[in-house]
Amino acid sequence: MKINELNFMIGGKAGEGIEVPGNMFAKLCMKAGLWLNATREFYSVIKGYNNINQIRVAEQPVKSHINRYDLILAIDDETVPRYYKDVVPGGGIIYDPSLVSASSVQSEVRPGGALVYDATLMKEALSREDINYFPVPMSDLAMEKVGLKLAKNIVGIGATLALLDYNVQPLLDLIVKTFARKGDDVVNKNIDAAQAGYNYAREKFSREFNYQLRNVKNPVKKFFADGNEVMVFGAIKSGLKFVSEYPMTPSSSILHTTAKYAQKYNISVNHVEDELSAMNMAVGAGFAGARSLVATSGGGFALMTEAVGMAGMIEAPVVCIECQRPGPSSGLPTRSGQGDLRQVMHASQGEFPRIVMAPGHHEEAFYMVHEAFNLAERYQCPVFIISEKYLSEGYATLPYLKTDHLRVDRGKLLKESEIRAGYKRYQITADGIPPRAIPGQKGGAHLANTYEHLESGYSTEEVGHVTAMYERRMKKIELIEKNLPAAELEGNPKADFTIVCWGGTYMPASEAMDMLNRDGVKTNLLHVKYMLPFQPGVREILEHCKRPVLVEGNYTGLLGGVIAEKAGIDIRSRILDYSGRPFTPDKIYEEIKKLTKK
Amino acid sequence: MLRTVKDYTSTEGKPNWCPGCGDFGIEMAMKQAMAQLDLDPDKVLLISGIGCGANMPNWFSTYGFITLHGRALPVATGAHLASHELSVFVEAGDGDAYGIGMGHFIHAMRRNPNMVYIVGNNTVYGLTLGQISPTAAKGCKGPSTPFGNPDLPVNPIALALANHCSFVGRGYAGNLPHLINLIKAAHQHKGFALVDVLQPCVTYAKDVGYKYYQDLTYDLQEAGHDKTNLEAAMKRAFEVPEKYPIGIFYQEERPLYEEELPQFKKGPLVSHDISNVDITPIFEEYSS
């Protein structure tokens, strides 16, 4: 019997609603005092195609998703034949016998999307002897109780709770809360649906399943959010005042979440005409003195490129979150990948200081975004946070994050009273950072100029002036580098293998490290957080590692290239994945196990 | 003491335009308008794109920002929303405004931020040595169109009229008193004000020079045009190229972008205290 340790998955067609019951289930678990990590895999379509929602629950914080399921709730026909092999022995599948039976055949084949199955495959999918099958007539119960087939997902969640031997009441309360705005009728129908599923499972399969959910005593106060939401919270905490964005998966929820809080926190949030406008506006707002943010994915970022250089040239603070999806071009809109590192590092012509960093998990993302706004103002340059779909749209429970120690640092932004006569915005200073006045301040008038300029901002092409200004600007890079936190090695410093990764790959990699160590394969981990300027300490760490293994979500090992360039170390062992799916701990574990045999 | 042109003039250097360039007229009209409006130079933000005319902020003593080709409007919109009590003037060329930056122009008109958009319309790209601009007539010859421009010209006035622009004006760089008054009216207008300026390029567009416009321009207001009549304005917009009406084609009162949003009620965003924002309520919201 496993208590409070469950990897649950809901599978269904886009449009059938796997998100609402998934969120309900997750919230129930959070209310029960559990920790969880949840991620969705879905096609870039609005209706049809099989999507899944993976929710992993435990009494301790959950590092990553995994693809071995303890319980699957299949509300469509396709989930069972697709995923039956991924159920662990002793696990179970809840399915709808009207959709899934030994005589089911494919009703509609969707090229490029659907799994093509026939009666043979269905029969096989329903005949594993080491797992439990729970046929629940979800569609029929939904029709019978509420006259609405679409409520089958709620029936399914009711049945799930019964199998996990958990009380139905918290689900009913959550339904009231979730659907209250839609009126009593909708609330009551969903309550009936949930209750019907619960009762059915109680009667038919009572207490024969190996997994249970129970309330945890004195749980830590926590909240449940995805990576994009957490990053927005960090931005709001840091004094976010301006957002301009054009929707693009998987960054759009940054726009949605900032828009939701725009009035409460007095932020100007703008859904603008394109990404050219988004970045240019944000630079304008940053120049004028507002903490400003843009978010996009690789394609949108490509359009922002020219304005990135403008921010570098006029030394405007601006923060950009680039949520990667696999490319090239439109690529895989709703999937995850890590192919944009070099694009972000090198976007725009010429040379100028910028900061590029990537958080590894939700909590780090919160603090990193907060830090990004301080760095942008301290060094007067654009700052980039690279995320990926896995982190941006993946959910986690987090403790209420500590914020008492966080400070807003505006660098050399002058108060009006500090502006002296003869003020020069681009003054050649010892540390390279000039004093900054913003429009409207008395005595601070100056020209921000994308052409090379004098200390006043006035255009120049004279050799002496050009080189002096260029050197002053570029000098900031040394200063930034000097003040970056050094890289840290996680785990046993004497391990045989060192996983080297960046971004959200940290989550599965960190769990893989634990799995390998439990298995006697001594492994530690180096998570590189700052790519530009390159994080200090990486070379020193790698020089003492027995066998570094690069783990990245791309084909060419982009971080590996950066490490070779900046630290002079060529990492030969590589685990690379460009399938559009995030790494699982299992995959990293298995690949490193293979290396032990070489 | 009343302000003069000198109060808006940079001490760093002098404009480097060709002698006789229409940009001199636009520069002078802008400074005169600012002086007559008695604007505090520290409260003025002049934002430009890229081109001969867009070098203008070099020669102003106000806050200035020379941005990218075509992107003056979004940069200006961002700066304006961050600090909405500034007087924002945007200066662009016809390539900036009606070529590479056309998309932003259309959307700025919908948004109606409070700013003056002055477009030097000289039908050529001067800084890149005389190629045709989007307002050049069909058949015009230049280095990129040796056999004549195959495309019809953009009609910026009609475009603005068709797209919710709340102030649609046209001036002429060779008629300074008229242009000064037009820019003043545009600044006093609450909302997004387009001032398209017919501007001779004495080096590359000799066919459409001072003589040409001197003969073909006439003052709309003197001609009794009703600036609240959209239909009449549209009719006048299509008088080109036989005649070039100058003045205010159309003006309407519409709520400003920032007026309809409560975020801006507590003063410019840049003046808000950001030192200790409390986000605990967000954690609470996401915990239930």
- Whether the Cβ atoms of residue B68 and residue B93 lie closer than 8 Å to each other: no
pLDDT at position A110: 63
Look up residue B240 and give its amino acid: V
Select from A94, A95, A122 the least CA-distant residue to A107: A122
Which chain B residues are closer than 8 Å to A225 by Cβ? 286
Please indicate if any CB of chain A lies within 8 Å of the CB of B76: yes
| Equal fold, A224-399 vs A489-596 | yes
Q: pLDDT tens for residues B205-231? A: 988 999 999 999 999 999 999 999 999
For the residues A311-331, what does the mean pLDDT come to?
Answer: 98
Q: Closest CB to A236: pick one of B261, B275, B277.
A: B277
Tell me how crowded residue A546 is: count the other CB atoms within 10 A of its CB: 11
Which of these ranges, A203-212, A352-361, B32-41, B98-107, has the smallest mean pLDDT? A203-212
pLDDT band for position A112 (cuts 50, 70, 90): low
Crossing angle (nearest 10°) for helices A275-288 and A298-314: 30
Look up residue B79 and give its amino acid: A
Q: Give the whole-angstrom CA distance, residue A506 versus residue B72.
A: 41
Look up residue A300 and give its amino acid: G
Q: A440, B275: Cβ pair inside 8 Å? A: no
Residues with Cβ within 8 Å of B226's Cβ and at least 6 positions away in sequence, in order, are B232
> Which two tokens mark A591?
């690949």
- The helix/strand/coil state of A327 is coil
Q: Closest CB to A290: pick one of B50, B74, B82.
A: B82
The phi and psi torsions of A406 (rounded to 5 degrees) equal -80, 135
Q: pLDDT tens for residues A235-244? A: 999 999 999 9
For the residues A209-225, what does the mean pLDDT come to?
Answer: 95
* Helical (H) or strand (E) element with B160: helix B156-161
**Residue A107 confidence (pLDDT) above 70:** no
**Residue A113 confidence (pLDDT) above 80:** no
CATH number of A2-212: 3.40.920.10
- Give the best residue of B263, B284, B285 to mutate against chain A (max A CB count within 10 A): B263
Q: B82, A223: Cβ pair inside 8 Å? A: no
Strand order in the sheet with A489-490: A489-490, A523-528, A497-502, A548-552, A573-576
**Residue B286 confidence (pLDDT) above 80:** yes
Measure Cα distances from B127 to A457, B49, B58 in Å: 20, 12, 16
DSSP A200-258: HHHHHHTT-SSEE--PPSSPPPEEEEEHHHHHHHHHHHTT--EEEE---TTTHHHHHHH
Q: Closest CB to B42: pick one of A242, A261, A445.
A: A445
* Helical (H) or strand (E) element with A193: helix A184-205
Q: Give the whole-angstrom CA distance, residue A175 versus residue A540.
A: 54
**Residue A422 confidence (pLDDT) above 90:** yes
Please indicate if any CB of chain B lies within 8 Å of the CB of A498: no
Which chain A residues are closer than 8 Å to B284 by Cβ? 223
Which chain B residues are closer than 8 Å to A272 by Cβ? 74, 107
Name the fold adopted by A224-399. Rossmann fold (3.40.50)
Running DSSP on this structure, what letter comes out for residue B97?
I
Beta partners for B148? none
Please give the biggest Cα pair distance in chain B.
74
Tell me how crowded residue A234 is: count the other CB atoms within 10 A of its CB: 27
Q: Per 3-state DSSP, what percentage of chain A is helix, strand, and coil (rounded to 5)?
A: 40, 20, 40
**Residue A108 confidence (pLDDT) above 90:** no
pLDDT at position B246: 98
Q: Give the whole-angstrom CA distance, residue A374 versus residue B197.
A: 42
- Whether the Cβ atoms of residue A473 and residue A353 lie closer than 8 Å to each other: yes
Measure Cα distances from B255 to A266, B104, B160, B187, B261 in Å: 19, 20, 17, 16, 10
Measure Cα distances from B187 to A75, A289, B70 in Å: 61, 23, 22
Q: pLDDT tens for residues A36-48? A: 999 999 888 877 7
Q: A289, B82: Cβ pair inside 8 Å? A: yes
**Residue A389 confidence (pLDDT) above 90:** yes
Domain B5-259 has CATH 3.30.1330.120: no
Residues with Cβ within 8 Å of A2's Cβ and at least 6 positions away in sequence, in order, are A70, A210, A211, A212
Mean per-residue pLDDT over chain A, rounded: 95
DSSP A27-84: HHHHHTT-EEEEEEE--S-SSEEEEEEEEEEESS------S-EEEEEE-SSSHHHHHG
Smallest CA–CA distance, residue B232 to chain A, in Å, is 30
Write down the ipTM of this complex.
0.98
Q: Which residue of A has its CA nearest to B51?
A: A451
First to last CA, chain A: 38
Number of Cα atoms under 13 Å in the Cβ half of residue A427 = 16
- Give the best residue of B106, B277, B278 to mutate against chain A (max A CB count within 10 A): B277
Q: pLDDT tens for residues A479-533? A: 999 999 999 999 999 999 999 999 999 999 999 999 999 999 999 999 999 999 9
Q: pLDDT tens for residues B119-145? A: 999 999 998 999 999 999 999 999 999
Q: Closest CB to B79: pick one of A270, A439, A446.
A: A439
Show which of residues 248-277 on chain B sit within 8 Å of chain A, judged by CB atoms: 258, 261-264, 266, 268-270, 272, 274-277
For the residues B227-245, what does the mean pLDDT come to?
Answer: 98
Which of these ranges, A119-123, A366-370, B42-46, has the smallest mean pLDDT? A119-123
pLDDT at position A114: 63
Which of these ranges, A15-19, A367-371, B192-196, has the smallest mean pLDDT? A15-19
**Residue A1 confidence (pLDDT) above 90:** no
CATH number of A489-596: 3.40.50.920
pLDDT at position A289: 98
Q: Give the whole-angstrom CA distance, residue A299 versus residue A313.
A: 23
The phi and psi torsions of B8 (rounded to 5 degrees) equal -110, 5
* CA-CA-CA-CA torsion sign (A162, A166, A169, A174): negative
Show which of residues 193-232 on chain A sit within 8 Å of chain B, judged by CB atoms: 221-225, 229
Q: What is the dihedral of CA A99, A101, A106, A112, to 10 degrees?
A: 80
Select from A281, A285, A132 the least CA-distant residue to A211: A132
Q: Give the whole-angstrom CA distance, residue A536 versus residue A528.
A: 10
pLDDT at position A435: 98
Please indicate if any CB of chain B lies within 8 Å of the CB of A444: yes
Q: Give the whole-angstrom CA distance, residue A141 versus residue A143.
A: 5
- Whether the Cβ atoms of residue B14 and residue B27 lie closer than 8 Å to each other: no
Look up residue B188 and give its amino acid: Q
Q: Give the whole-angstrom CA distance, residue A140 versus residue A232.
A: 42
Q: Please give the share of chain A, as a percent, with pLDDT higher than 70.
A: 98
- Whether the Cβ atoms of residue B87 and residue B98 lie closer than 8 Å to each other: no
Top-confidence residue, B288 or B136: B136
Beta partners for A413? A436
Domain residue ranges in chain A:
2-212, 224-399, 416-483, 489-596
Tell me how crowded residue B100 is: count the other CB atoms within 10 A of its CB: 18
- The helix/strand/coil state of B126 is coil
Which of these ranges, A348-352, B145-149, B246-250, B253-257, has the smallest mean pLDDT? B253-257
pLDDT band for position B288 (cuts 50, 70, 90): confident
Which chain B residues are closer than 8 Å to A241 by Cβ? 82, 269-270, 272, 274
pLDDT at position A136: 97
Q: Please give the share of chain A, as a percent, with pLDDT higher than 90.
A: 91
Rounded to 5°, angle at Cα A73 from A68 and A78: 85
- Whether the Cβ atoms of residue A258 and residue A282 lie closer than 8 Å to each other: no
The phi and psi torsions of B187 (rounded to 5 degrees) equal -70, -40
The phi and psi torsions of B67 (rounded to 5 degrees) equal -100, -125
pLDDT at position B159: 98
pLDDT at position A102: 84
Tell me how crowded residue A537 is: count the other CB atoms within 10 A of its CB: 17
- Whether the Cβ atoms of residue A14 and residue A46 lie closer than 8 Å to each other: yes
For the residues B152-164, what does the mean pLDDT come to?
Answer: 98
Q: Which residue of B has its CA nearest to A268?
A: B263
Q: B82, A244: Cβ pair inside 8 Å? A: no
Q: pLDDT tens for residues A552-576? A: 999 999 999 999 999 999 999 999 9
Please indicate if any CB of chain A lies within 8 Å of the CB of B145: no
Strand runs labelled E in A291-445: 292-296, 318-324, 355-357, 382-388, 395-399
Which of these ranges, A41-55, B103-117, B186-200, B265-279, has the smallest mean pLDDT? A41-55
